[in-house]
Structure 1
């Protein structure tokens, strides 16, 4: 009998170890997807970092330089929902590594092409790769996260960090070797694609099960999805407006660089914090609290004197980024039969609204002052909060992984 109890204890302990190993494997999948996400979104930040070198070494004017930025942002934003609709019709996991390499290739070629048109097309190619990546990768991250808001926030954090670190990669490289060194910028895409391929292979057997369960989850709630899209649009206007002009508002130079660093670092903190709070409070409540807090935070950026403004810059970034990963999962749950479309809109089209409206913020600044222009941004998190109050947390559509043969964990 003692032998029996000893044996039972051993198998219980072994099962516990297995569950721990399984959790570790799942966490590793999300970490690798997050690194891949960083490897793509670094190219969104790389294009603005390229512009000063194009101006200095090729003599581009402000209009030509803005056209380069527009080639990446506008094309990516418009095409992203199209790729989302395509991935709703059929699974295309191969699109993830291909799009990553396309994004990297476009930026790599932009520095060695001859003539403005070829440079514009190279940057547009990178934007196309970024657009193709997000809908299918968000679907894969949803499967890998298995309903965990914290894990999904890690995936979003990867993109935030990739965008924020782009100037750190691009500026020293091109300062040292010039635009001719731009082919080296393809390396983040290559590393990210290799890491993501391992996750795609690991989760391939779960894909059909996830699709079938999502389609049987119920009808799409388009009314809620449209309201969520407007929430994201208003949030984007506030954040992009801040990121475009806060460095100038703080005086430029070192003070402006510190302001941008605080803004980007706050975004990383907010992304992780939002996932953790959603696990306790639910996604919609977290979103409401974040946007309610963002109103005085953005106001403080304009009204706080001296160094206190940096505190409010951090607070504004944290509160505006806390709901970021929650937007994606909410959109997917509002449209359970169109996960790709939901991902394309929440990650692409709605977010780009801030970039499209930032020239209006600049026009207000020229007509009055930068302080007045930034003060106008206060209204947008308030609008996001008001619309968020009309939303309700849907029941999440969480696909259960299909166990692999001979394994209870499916690893």
Structure 2
């Protein structure tokens, strides 16, 4: 009996998961430099909030349109080295952003970084699932904490380096892209071994009576729509901070650019902690419960936030993002369990489409900020978590 149980349990490739987490960190660190330099770009090119929002929109659309397509294609024919190609796009966009002499070239550079991200995420998500050994919450927690930590480090580097050295210092971060390429080659070389181990474990489970559960098409469609809307509401809220939080702090509280970047770092770093904790707890208490906790938990805090002073603003934003980020891994895994044979598509959908929709939200919020003021934007965004009540329509599935 013990031998059978051991045979059923697949191997967890922790070293691969950690390297995937590091590559996700490097990928998202580079892309987080785009909003991190917005205050510099606004002053240098005399940009308004609509133009700032359009930069975010360009990056997010470029990073979203390709992801479901890449995911669907690699579901049929996996291409582990696609992550390397994606990072080369990111590197070219980073260098372009460092030396862009005009606004239109900033948009082109942002689009190139977005394309790189769209190629990276579907294949890396699949690799994390293969390497999970059945511990999907841990795997996605490690993978996502890498991305969230990288996203948080962009504002920190902006505060310490770019604010001091200027726009062209962005090119220095090309070294990180080169490091990422080396790590991506390492993981790509292990793809076949990890995939074989994963497939064998599925076969053993099937022979032991543990078959992969399939659900009716209508149920899968309903579940994916609800999960997409949940992810969108969370991404739109986070994007409002990623794009405009520094301006809110500068204009509303009169802090320096450097201080605003440190505050953005704290906000985004809390995403990394929340993602890891949510992934681990999801394995223990279930994805469904984690999703509901992440929905109801931040709502009172978001409603209080527009009326808080500076110090309470810092405390509330960290708390909000800590709770909100806890659902990211659970939402993604829930979607994978609904559609277990379409992992690339799920990864592309949730890393791609949702971030594209969040980019549209950023552009709309930028236009609203120009017309009514940045304070009204955050008052409006305080109600976004209410969309999370759509989880009521989420179908219950096994192991959730």
Aligned to 1:381: 385
Higher relative contact order (CA 8 A, sep 6+): 2
Q: Distance in 2 between matches of 1:393 and 1:100?
A: 38
Please report how far the alpha carbon of residue 339 of structure 1 lies from its aligned counterpart in structure 2 after TM superposition. Answer: 1.2
Question: Which sits farther off after the overlay, 347-356 or 210-219?
Answer: 210-219
1:332 aligns to 2:336 (yes or no): yes
Change (3 A) 1:174 1:195: same
The answer for the alignment partner of 2:264 in structure 1 is 260
Deviation at 1:307, TM superposition (A): 2.7
TM-score by length of 2: 0.82
Provide the rounded CA distance (Å) in 1 between the counterparts of 2:310 and 2:55. Answer: 35
Partner of 1:159: 147
Residue 348, structure 1, aligned to residue 352, structure 2: yes
Instruction: Check 1:208–1:73 CA distance in 2 against 1; reply closer, same or farther (3 A cut).
Output: same
Tell me if structure 2 keeps the 8 A contact 1:266–1:318.
Answer: yes
Q: 1:243 to 1:182 in 2, by over 3 A?
A: closer
Whether contact under 8 Å (1:84, 1:340) holds in the other structure is yes
The answer to whether the Cα contact below 8 Å between 1:282 and 1:393 also exists between their aligned partners in 2 is no
1:61-89 Cα offsets, whole Å, 9 max, x none, are 44666544433222112222221221122
CA displacement, residues 243-292 of structure 1 (integer Å, 9 cap, x when unaligned): 44444155142564454233123212211121122122101111101111
Say if 1:55 and 1:211 are closer, same or farther in 2 by CA, change over 3 A.
farther
What is the 5 A alignment of 1:218-229?
218-219=214-215, 221-229=220-228
Residues 155, 265 of structure 2: 8 Å contact kept: no
Supply the distance in 2 between the matched residues of 1:307 and 1:362 (Cα, whole angstroms): 25
- Structure 1 residues 362 and 47: alpha-carbon distance in aligned structure 2, compared to 1, 3 A threshold: closer
Name the counterpart of 1:187: 175
Q: Distance in 2 between matches of 1:349 and 1:287?
A: 20
Match of 1:199 among 166, 183, 187: 187
Distance in 2, Cα, partners of 1:207 & 1:305: 52
Equivalent in 13, 23, 33 of residue 46 of structure 1:
33
Q: Which residue of 2 aligns with 1:83?
A: 70
Work out the CA distance in 2 between the residues paired with 1:380 and 1:176.
35
- Residue pair 2:156, 2:261 contacting (<8 A) in 1 also: no
Q: Calculate the aligned-residue CA RMSD, in Å.
A: 3.2
Q: What does residue 84 of structure 2 align with?
A: 97
- Say whether residues 1:357 and 2:361 are aligned partners: yes
Once the two structures are superposed, the pairs formed by residues 2-401 of structure 1 within 5 Å of their partners are 26-54=13-41, 59=45, 61-62=47-48, 67-112=54-99, 117-148=104-135, 149-170=137-158, 172-174=160-162, 178-207=166-195, 210=198, 217-219=213-215, 221-247=220-246, 248=248, 251-254=253-256, 256-257=260-261, 259-305=263-309, 307-364=311-368, 370-384=374-388, 386-395=389-398
Tell me, yes or no, if the aligned pair for 1:222 and 1:335 is still in contact at 8 Å. no
User: Which secondary structure state, in structure 2, belongs to the residue aligned with residue 92 of structure 1?
Assistant: coil
Query: 1:34 Cα deviation (Å)?
Result: 0.5
- Name the CA distance, whole Å, in 2 between partners of 1:347 and 1:235: 12
Matching residue of 1:5 = none
Contact 2:141 2:279 (8 Å CA) reproduced: yes
Higher mean alpha-carbon deviation, 280-289 vs 113-122, is at: 113-122
> Structure 2 CA distance, aligned partners of 1:311 and 1:173?
25
Secondary structure in structure 1 of the residue aligned to 2:95: helix
Q: CA deviation at 1:345?
A: 1.3
List runs of 5+ in structure 1 lacking aligned partners.
1-14, 16-21, 398-411
Between Structure 1 and Structure 2, whose CA radius of gyration is higher? 1
Distance change >3 Å, CA 310–CA 198, structure 1 → 2: same
Q: Secondary structure in 2 aligned to 1:101?
A: helix
